[in-house]
Amino acid sequence: MASLFEKYGGDPFWHRVLDEFYNLNISDPTLQGFFVGKDVERVKAMNAGLLKAALGTAENHFFTSIRRVHVGMGITGAHYDRFVSNLFQVLRERGVIEQDLEDVSDVISSFRSDVVFG
């Protein structure tokens, strides 16, 4: 059985999702401040690795500490929720089915305490 990462086309599909997702985030007044002065291509590359590890097979690993990367950024629960909402908007537009969205939601939810502080 293919992993969720592979089910939709692997790297090409998820790179397109990340391109659209970050374009949406950068234009979102609620989130755009988090990307000022950031190397967004590097952020997308890191998130591609994270998605591959989280939605892929047991052979995929992600070695960067999500907590360490996000500490001190001032990300609130509302910011996180908006970020996730934007991701799900793109995934729905790209044809990801509801059951798979639930699985992605489970994975994304597991990162919340490593991103939102306070």
Question: 60 lies in which domain range?
Answer: 4-115
pLDDT tens digits for 21-48?
999 999 999 999 999 999 999 999 888 8
What is the H or E stretch that residue 80 is in? helix 77-93
If one counts the domains in the chain, the total is 1
- pTM for this predicted structure: 0.88
In this prediction, residue 50 carries a pLDDT of 85
What CATH number has the domain bearing residue 75?
1.10.490.10
Instruction: Note the pLDDT tens digit of each residue in 43-98.
Output: 998 888 888 888 886 565 555 678 888 888 899 999 999 999 999 999 999 999 99
